Amino acid sequence: EVQLVQSGAEVKKPGDSLKISCKGSGYSFTNYWIGWVRQMPGKGLEWMGIIYPGDSETRYSPSFQGQVTISADKSISTAYMQWSSLKASDTAIYYCARQGSSDWGWNYWGQGTLVTVSS
Amino acid sequence: QSALTQPASVSGSPGQSITISCTGTSSDVGGYKYVSWYQQHPGKAPKLMISDVSNRPSGVSNRFSGSKSGNTASLTISGLQAEDEADYYCSSYTSSSTYVFGTGTKVTVL
């Protein structure tokens, strides 16, 4: 069974750094794109970027380029989203997702990680 | 890149059919067959309902169907049921080799 399990909720202060994770299991982690999606409170979904763990090719959506860092450690089947200096506006739920095996839909999703940034 | 445009809300009575539109540009929806649709219930992760414009993943009800014409994609829900009440988002691959979501549509079953 394919599963994406994300790290737990975080409460941080503005200026803090943070790295959240998404662990894949039940499939060959290196062979599928992983994407990250932001959902701010009461708002819609936003693509942040995608990574191919096989060679770590990473693509960022323009709004998020330079704001976050996406990475992956294929030895432990885990993808990461990282901030160097959080802002209050980074408060959101962050989802990871995996692309399908025979189509371009994102058919497996993590449970989401709530990040709260508040002084 | 701007979010794809969806109506904020669509409603229908049980048993009726509704259609949600998703309008982009030739750099996203119009340029690729990689449009997908997601259903999201409150407090839950999104669920893939349609991929590659019209492909229905295993386990998704055949009441859901997708299509595309030019720069506009559409999701049709036939035989509307109470459980279909949720937010729906379209998504498209883009010429920047990334993806973009639509603005989201709240479906209400009257």
What is chain B's mean pLDDT, rounded?
Answer: 97
Q: Under a CB-based contact definition with an 8 Å cutoff, are residues B35 and B52 in contact?
A: yes
In this structure, are strands B9-12 and B105-109 parallel, antiparallel, or unpaired? parallel
What confidence tier does B89 reach under pLDDT thresholds 50, 70, 90?
Answer: very high
Contact B46 A45 (CB under 8 A): yes
């595309």: which residue's tokens? B68
Q: CA-nearest residue of chain A to B1?
A: A62
Q: Which residues of A touch B52 (CB under 8 A)?
A: 103-105
Shortest Cα distance, chain A CAs vs residue B82, angstroms: 22
Average pLDDT, stretch A15-28?
A: 97
Is A52 at the interface with chain B, CB within 8 A?
no
A-B contacts (CB, under 8 Å):
75
User: pLDDT (tens digit, 9 = 90+) per residue, B42-73?
Assistant: 999 999 999 999 999 999 999 999 999 999 99
What confidence tier does A27 reach under pLDDT thresholds 50, 70, 90?
Answer: very high
Give dist(CA A51, CA A60) in Å, integer: 9
Average pLDDT, stretch B88-106?
A: 96
How much is the pLDDT for B1? 79
User: pLDDT (tens digit, 9 = 90+) per residue, A81-106?
Assistant: 999 999 999 999 999 999 988 888 99
Of A45, A62, A112, Cβ closest to residue B89: A45
Q: Which two tokens stand for residue B30?
A: 């119009």
Is A109 at the interface with chain B, CB within 8 A?
yes
Give dist(CA B88, CA B74) in Å, integer: 11
Shortest Cα distance, chain A CAs vs residue B60, angstroms: 11
How much is the pLDDT for A102? 81
How much is the pLDDT for B92? 97
Q: Which residues of B touch A106 (CB under 8 A)?
A: 36, 38, 46, 48, 91
